Amino acid sequence: MKSSPWWKEATIYQIYPRSFFDSNGDGEGDLPGITSKLEYVKSLGVDAIWLSPFYTSPNKDGGYDVADPRDVDPRFGNLADAKEMIDVAHSLDLRVLVDVVPNHFSDQHVWFQEALKAARGSQERSRFHFYDANPDGTLPNNWISLFGGPSWTQVEDGQFYLHLFDSSQPDLNWENPEVAADFEKTLRFWLDLGVDGFRIDVAHGLVKEDVLKDHPDPQGLSDALRLDMPMDPEKRYALLPTVPFFDRQGVHEIYREWRKLFDSYGDRDVMAVAEAWVHPPVNSTRYVRPDELHQVFNFDLLDAPFSSIHLYDVISRSIDLMKSVAALPTWALSNHDSPRVATRMGEQESRALALFVLALPGSTYVYAGQELGLPDGVIPDESRQDPIYFRTGGQQKGRDGARVPLPWNGDTAPFGFTSGTPWLPMHDGWKDSTIEKQSAEPKSSLNLYRNALSLRAEHLVNNGKIQWLESPHHGAHSSSVLAYHRGSVSVYMNLENSPVEVEITGKVLIVSAGVPDGRDGKITIPPISTIWIQR
Ligand code: GLC
Ligand code: CA
């Protein structure tokens, strides 16, 4: 009998290559830098790494503007470095996922350069979405880019091309079969080099319908689609289902084809995870039907407040949704596009939530630096790089704060990340957060993650579903404590700033903060803390 595939309940560590470790002193992380630090990654107890793009790119959008999807950008090294990184990861029993960016190319991709030179109506232009202006000279529609400003840019002969993101990221036209063929080539290229799967960027965006239809509130919609934009949740969740350019049903045909390609690599369990934030949430289950992809990101914890009612709803709904297609949910508290969880919630809250989530069924994504409890970096405006900052004339600060390089060692910035000047400023304030310091401190965030991941592997993975205990909806009502059993472990999270006593006996396996006190069939959980108890 085939055992459960590796990705079912994996912990996947997201590396933003530019910010991980710089091997050559140019101030930017690179592939040899990642390879040299894979022992560290392994020591966390994770199962796999996912690397954000390192492909040839003018780097207008952190490499998500791909000019050649089948080569490595010189800033990150070369193809031999990629192969070496994959091989070393495998020798440490770490799987490797890479990003694939099928919604758009960079304007520096040879196809777009050809399209610019070609005539309207040409085969070259039909690989993208080129349209004429309206008879009154206005843009083909009123959509606002997710990075601010119009979704259209005009070229010399007067036509406009569609870009849902930066103007340097023209959207591809998936109705042109050349596009699908090219991406199959890219998937095979990386699989042949040895990767174990893909994270699919903007997976819900590929198929466009009604391109010429205006939206009643294009700016509101653009803001609603961005997790770094604060918005009244009611407004956000009313706008999200109205998006005309995401989650068209034709995308699923593409993933059915990709799945056949993945399954043709019989020597390994290839897996793919979709970045598909779709509404209503039930639509996300379509991406993980048995003949489509393996996982779909769950974005709900990336903007959830530290509130038991909210967290209960999000977690139980995510589990139930995926059950309907016999898939397991995924969990993420941080990524390269949203404010870091420690900044959003507070340090102790983020530790408590991490420990609560690490015991849940399904796969967990940990964004590099999250294990250190890093907050967002403080970035002066003149150092900002995110296109969001530029396209909104500085009104929106963008995502650079979550992309500051990792502090490795020493007492002063750049903390061993580089021997040169880091591409985003680092500050001496992080001196107690370095990997070196935290490794030596038993109660550090780093050791909390290490211990939790090792206990997770031992007691929780493949231990089935959870059973909620005290929650706003179950058992003895309490808005201060959220709790569940899974296997032989009980997980309690105290969300209040004062200790709480619960009736349970057993061995405390781990606690996120403070010292629990157990006697007479009761355990006192410290303020803002999660504990795992083995019954
Ligand atoms: C995804 C990426 C983000 C990028 C965008 C456009 O959302 O996570 O970083 O800017 O796609 O490619
Ligand atoms: Ca470098």
pLDDT, tens digit, for every residue of 53-83?
999 999 999 999 999 999 999 999 999 999 9
3-state SS, residue 458: helix
The position carrying tokens 């397991």 is 328
Ligand 1 atom with the smallest distance to the CA of 147 is 10
CA dist 243 and 208 (Å) reads: 11
- Nearest Cα to 188, choosing from 198, 179, 173? 198
The DSSP element (H or E) to which 95 belongs, if any, is strand 95-100
Note the pLDDT tens digit of each residue in 308-353. 989 999 999 999 999 999 999 999 999 999 999 999 999 999 999 9
Ranges of beta strands (E only) in 300-384 are 330-332, 363-367
Residue with tokens 């996300």: 284
Contact 355, 452 (CB under 8 A): yes
For 45-84, give the DSSP string: T-SEEEE---EE---TTTT-S-SEEEEE-TTT--HHHHHH
Give the mutation target among 106, 222, 337 for probing the ligand 1 site: most ligand atoms within 8 A of CB. Answer: 337
Residue (of 87, 215, 198, 57) closest to 151 by Cα position: 215
Q: Is the pLDDT of residue 471 over 70?
A: no
pTM: 0.97
Per-residue pLDDT tens digits for 433-450: 999 999 999 999 999 999
Smallest CA-to-CA distance from 301 within 348, 346, 335, 272 is with 335
Q: Which carries the bigger pLDDT value, residue 309 or residue 401?
A: 401
pLDDT digits 0-9 by tens, 350-376: 999 999 999 999 999 999 999 999 999
Query: Measured between alpha carbons, how far is residue 129 from residues 162, 165, 209, 470, 502 in Å?
Result: 5, 13, 11, 53, 59
- Residues annotated catalytic, as ranges: 201, 275
Ligand 1 pocket test, candidate residues 54, 172, 202, 388, most atoms within 8 A of CB: 202
- How far apart are the C-alpha atoms of 179 and 184, rounded to whole Å? 9
Which ligand 1 atom is at minimum distance from the Cα of 64?
A: 12
* Euclidean distance between CA atoms 302 and 227, whole angstroms: 8
- Quick one: which atom of ligand 1 is closest to the CA of 101? 12
The CA-based angle 246-386-103, given to 5 degrees, is: 25
385's tokens: 């790089």
**Vertex 425, ends 421 and 429: CA angle to 5°?**
115
